Amino acid sequence: MKKIIIVGIDFSNCSFQALEYAIMIAEKTSSNILMVWVGKGKDLPSVYIPQVIDPRHEVKKQFEELIEKHKDRLTNSKLMYKVRNGKVYKEIVNQAKYHDAFLIVTGSHGVSGFEEFWIGSNANKIVTYAPCPVITVAYNKKKKMKLKKIILPIDNTRQTRQKLPFSCYLAKFFDAEIHVVGLYTSKVKTLRSIVDSYVKQVTKHLDELEIKYNKVSLVAENATQTTLEYAKENGGDLIAIMTEQETTTSNILLGPYAQQMVNHSKTPVLSIRTRYIYDYKLET
């Protein structure tokens, strides 16, 4: 059975760029792509063209055009679509669960000028509740779709290494270089030594898998800002992070570090939930 990549589509430029990113990965991993659009009801107006009598018919028409446009790029895979009704993040997450998707790709910003950003307002929730890794993509028309440098920030939390297997999985397919960035967020020597220990474990694993890597240690007053600056200065194509969920009395929220990354990174962000350890076979 082929792997499935779920892509959230709201027909904004940002969601189209997310689709481009998904196609790039699907081509390498021989995965099928399922595009998902979610409406809130029968009378939902179109948010990307003037109001029409039957927006769902127009949505399906636009999906068919997308399939026709991209079908020749997926010689070993299929490009499919689903039109759903309900809450955007729930429907996308449920589709990922139903198809046992190995990845979700979605824009980090949605249609501007609308009462609510379709993708942008749901990106954090998709990351929070997703049953698999999520890549969020910010729109940048000058950004070339490639995956040659993966930025892997390592801090002093135990979960920080859990993003390594999936990062290695992608690195193997794309012959990418992993930049292991040790982040010293404290002056306490014990905590810094923990970071050094984790970096050593990570690089040892990369050596065993014969994956190219670059290693650096940085003092970080703000882990998000330091990571983003490093990615920009070194031409990063993907930043891999662990998400932190915070439980409130009424909901589960994405933690501040992951939220800042998803909201502010111009580089695509791979988010992996801390409650899961993914075990991916590395055959290419």
**What would the pLDDT profile of 121-153 be if each residue is shown by its tens digit?**
688 889 888 999 999 998 877 777 899 999 999
The pLDDT of residue 252 is 53
Q: Cα–Cα distance between 151 and 277 in angstroms, integer?
A: 19
Q: In this structure, what token pair is assigned to residue 243?
A: 């998400």
Q: Cα–Cα distance between 231 and 150 in angstroms, integer?
A: 9
The pLDDT of residue 120 is 52
For the chain, counts of helices (H) and of strands (E): 8, 12
Q: How many CB atoms lie within 10 A of CB 268?
A: 23
With CA atoms as reference, report the closest residue to 126 among 140, 144, 110, 142: 110
State yes or no: pLDDT of 114 exceeds 50: no
pLDDT confidence of 251, banded at 50, 70, 90? Answer: low
Q: Summarize the confidence of residues 261-274 as an average pLDDT.
A: 88
Alpha helices in 80-144 (DSSP H): 88-98, 123-129
On the 0-12 / 13-18 / 19+ scale of CB atoms within 10 A, 253 is: middle
State yes or no: pLDDT of 69 exceeds 80: yes
State yes or no: pLDDT of 209 exceeds 70: yes
Question: For domain 4-137, which CATH number applies: 3.20.20.70, 3.40.50.620, 3.20.20.60, 3.40.50.10680?
Answer: 3.40.50.620
Q: Summarize the confidence of residues 104-111 as an average pLDDT.
A: 77
State yes or no: pLDDT of 274 exceeds 80: no
CATH class of the structural domain 149-273: alpha beta
pLDDT confidence of 54, banded at 50, 70, 90? Answer: low
What share of the chain in percent tops pLDDT 90?
Answer: 53
Asked if 252 contacts 246 with a C-beta cutoff of 8 angstroms, the reply is yes
State yes or no: pLDDT of 26 exceeds 50: yes
Indicate the pTM of the whole model: 0.87
State yes or no: pLDDT of 232 exceeds 50: yes
The pLDDT of residue 117 is 39
Amino acid at site 273? R
pLDDT confidence of 164, banded at 50, 70, 90? Answer: very high
Q: Summarize the confidence of residues 149-171 as an average pLDDT.
A: 93
What share of the chain in percent tops pLDDT 70?
Answer: 82
Contacts of 220 (CB under 8 A, 6+ apart): 183, 184, 185, 226, 227
Asked if 89 contacts 9 with a C-beta cutoff of 8 angstroms, the reply is no
The pLDDT of residue 125 is 87
Q: How many CA atoms lie within 13 A of 159 on its CB side?
A: 14
CATH 3.40.50.620 placement within the chain: 4-137, 149-273
